[in-house]
Amino acid sequence: MGESEKRFSLTLHYDGSAFHGWQIQPLDRTVQGALEDVVTRITGARRAVEGSGRTDAGVHARGQIAAVDMPGSWTAASLQKSLNALLPRDVWVADVSEVPAGFRPRFDAVARTYTYRVGTSPGCMSPFERRWCWPLAEPLESALLDACADQLPGEGSFRAFAKAGQPGRGFDCHIHEASWSPWELGRSFRVTANRYLHHMVRYLVGTMVAVARGHRPLADFQALLGNEAGLETSPPAPAQGLVLEHVRYAAGVSGAAGTGSTRRMLLALCAGLVGTSACTVESIPRTEDELPAIIQQSGEASLRSVDQTRAPLGAETVSDQVQGSRTTAIVRAAQEVAPAVVSIAVIRRQRAARRAFFDDYLLPYRETQGLGSGVIVNAEGTVLTNHHVIEGATQILVTLPDGRDFNADLVGTDPRTDVAVLSINEAEELPAAPLGTASDLLIGEWTVAIGNPFGRLISNSEPTVTAGVVSALGRHILPGGGDEGFYLGMIQTDASINPGNSGGPLVNALGEVIGINSSIFSRSGGSEGLGFAIPIDRAVRVAQDLINHGEVRRAWVGIEVQEIEADAFGRSRGVRVARTSPG
């Protein structure tokens, strides 16, 4: 930071529904990107905005802390006013304060508090509520939720609750507080910890809710906390119910979200009481009204001991053990995604094969049928499938696993990537599959292919589930005769994929869609363990372009290329630039 610059701390509120998380991504809308764009506009130069945490796509915040360096002429009041005038409506700067040059909002934080709301009453389905909670709309056993939460405070390994591919920085976390409380439309979970693993809170909530719904035994939760081998968490809770509420900082470190001078005074008071139980991280007040109660506790035992151990959850029956062993990660992944997998039937009008001179006049066209699969990706009825499933269709019928039939509209299609988007406009209460990412896949990890192979022969609307592993990544497949698409960077799997699976989801063991099944290599016409799926990240980008612009917008490099002649083994290792275009 230059000598004439100041560092400011920002307290941010944002609705994460339309953001792909906090951190800047090249092609996606993010909170950090929105802030940096506005800072660039008001200063004329690109300036980094540092956040206290990297919230995921769809996660909200009421107490995100960020820091930015500004020219020395700026004041906290003028910066807050300018940012709020230009930021999009789903981001709001609640407070701005000048902080020391060395303040780092992420690395200086000592604790963060998240809340997660689960809707259990019908009112949670309201469009004014469901964007900010998990709209489960079914009762939960509160005693089981509390029994799970009571096991969390203390220090321990949360490896079982970390998303696959977690960076190797250790799995130990210190949870200061964890509890469930009533909310007018359901239950609310509150947790404070020194650090979190990727998706950790969502995995915790997803597993606790599964216990409270009776989908798995209570003893599973303690076993997962003990990192017992062969046991998997339940799928993570949806992102929209999670809110970053507070970020807390040590005494003498500026930038903490809170109640101004009173809060900073109390932090200093806590610093003077190190070595006693008078003041802990958990006891820092969130409002001015809490201050007398905290001071009254001075000299008394802290609300929670940092050495608190996890109590046993009670005896586990043999039937619970057997049931738990049957409910594998593959079973849970199928339960999470299969309700959103649809069967797609199409009618095509094609020119009939010519057998005689007069056939062009008497039988110029004939109708044919085709079958495929698709996956619903949002509650509004958007369906992802393959271009080759709906190519040439004059009528598209979508059948849900519960047997409901709907006519579907074609929103857009892209032959080059073999992605198509359909819309079901008439349906209500549609299930949506959780979307993951293919960017952190590991070769050898479990995959589940879900779809409707040979749908006409099976004559059943419920999808088929097959399992395998990620066999390879980044596979490039040359198009066959008559194909328009180039299958680049594909996921290879040995999960059985057959005719009719096209357009269905490829799912990881966490119950997240990681790809759209597209093609197979086969000499027999059936599965031979060489299946390929379009990475979900690419499919979503293409779908967004089709929805927003009606076509996929691609960069043009201004060159024409020719394939280099193949060698004696039929390999072509590059292209030759044939011509360049000016400009």
Contact 12, 91 (CB under 8 A): yes
**Residue 27: alpha-carbon gap to chain centroid:** 16
pLDDT at 369 over 70: yes
Unique residue bearing structure tokens 């089981």? 144
Please tell me the number of Cα atoms within 13 Å of 324 on its side-chain side.
24
pLDDT tens digits, one per residue of 153-185: 999 999 889 875 445 567 889 999 999 999 999
Q: What percentage of the chain reaches a pLDDT higher than 90? A: 36
Contact 263, 248 (CB under 8 A): no
Tell me what pLDDT residue 385 has: 92
- pTM of the entire structure? 0.48
Tell me what pLDDT residue 454 has: 66
**Residue 541: alpha-carbon gap to chain centroid:** 14
**Residue 453: alpha-carbon gap to chain centroid:** 28
Long-range contacts of 79-85, Cβ-Cβ distance < 8 Å, separation of 24 or more:
79/8, 82/38, 82/42, 83/10, 83/35, 83/38, 83/39, 83/42
pLDDT at 380 over 90: no
The domain made up of 337-423 has a fold known as: Thrombin, subunit H (2.40.10)
Mean pLDDT of 378-388: 88
pLDDT at 192 over 90: yes
Tell me what pLDDT residue 271 has: 38
Sequence spans of domains, the chain: 5-99, 337-423
Mean pLDDT of 485-490: 75
* Residue of 287 and 470 predicted with greater confidence: 470
Q: How confident is the model at residue 278 (pLDDT cuts 50, 70, 90)?
A: very low
DSSP secondary structure string for all residues of 65-91: EEEEEEETT--HHHHHHHHHHHS-TTE
Tell me what pLDDT residue 281 has: 35
pLDDT tens digits, one per residue of 20-41: 999 888 778 899 999 999 999 9
pLDDT tens digits, one per residue of 419-463: 999 988 777 778 888 888 888 888 888 889 998 876 554 556 678
When the candidates are 2.30.30.90, 3.40.630.10, 3.30.70.580, 3.40.50.300, the CATH number that belongs to 5-99 is: 3.30.70.580
Tell me what pLDDT residue 358 has: 52
Q: Where are the alpha helices (DSSP H) in 272-414?
A: 291-296, 318-326, 329-337, 359-362, 387-390
Residues annotated as catalytic (active site), given as ranges: 388, 418, 502
In angstroms, the CA 392 to CA 413 distance is 11
Q: How confident is the model at residue 189 (pLDDT cuts 50, 70, 90)?
A: very high
Tell me what pLDDT residue 276 has: 35
* Equal fold, 5-99 vs 337-423: no
Across the chain, mean pLDDT equals 79
Stretch among 67-71, 351-355, 370-374, 569-573 having the lowest mean pLDDT: 351-355
pLDDT at 186 over 80: yes
pLDDT tens digits, one per residue of 285-332: 333 344 334 333 333 333 333 334 444 444 445 555 555 557 777 888
In angstroms, the CA 502 to CA 187 distance is 40
pLDDT at 283 over 70: no
Q: How confident is the model at residue 525 (pLDDT cuts 50, 70, 90)?
A: low
- For the chain, helix (H) and strand (E) counts, in that order, are 13, 25
Tell me what pLDDT residue 34 has: 93
pLDDT tens digits, one per residue of 539-549: 998 998 898 88
